[in-house]
Structure 1
Amino acid sequence: MGYKPKIGSDFPLEVRVIEANTRHTIEKTRSLIAATVLASSTVALAIVGVASTVSGDYTSLSYIWSVVAMPLGAVMAHYFGKAQTNDKDNHESSDRVA
């Protein structure tokens, strides 16, 4: 006689619950990455800005800005980019004369 394992019933998780938890985890991770990029960029620019103002040489500030501008712009564009996708609706109200 061989060993026969007992198999219980399925977990009461539905696909919707699993998908919602996955979306939540992904959004938390994205938000954490975005906050880290924003905070580290701001701190780096502030420290180098103060040091550049004291020394009078802004070469290091220019270098730091060239490094943080792309990730900072990517985060800002994601969160504050164009919210509406239909350009026709966006321009109709501006074409009307009051």
Structure 2
Amino acid sequence: MIEAGPIPAVHGVVRWRLADLMQWLWDEYRIRISKQTLSRELRALNFRKLSARPRHHAKSEAAVAVFKIYGPAVRCKRAVSGWMRDGS
């Protein structure tokens, strides 16, 4: 059941959370299990918690591209080399 993943139309979720699995166990087998115990058992079966990296809502792809090309090290080198030419 866990490996197959939930069916959104049937289970009402797009990914399993511990709370969803606890509810499913209760609905199917009338087994109550704590979140901590379920988590421990899933870890023992080599399942890991995966979460997406958060993204900022105002992230600018253009700014990211410029930063990748001219990262902080390049800007520092340019600033130092410019200072050395002007100061010499």
Same topology, TM > 0.5 = no
Q: Bigger relative contact order, structure 1 or 2, given CA contacts below 8 A and separation 6+?
A: 1
> Normalising by structure 1, what TM-score?
0.25
TM-score (norm 2): 0.27
Larger % of helix: which? 1
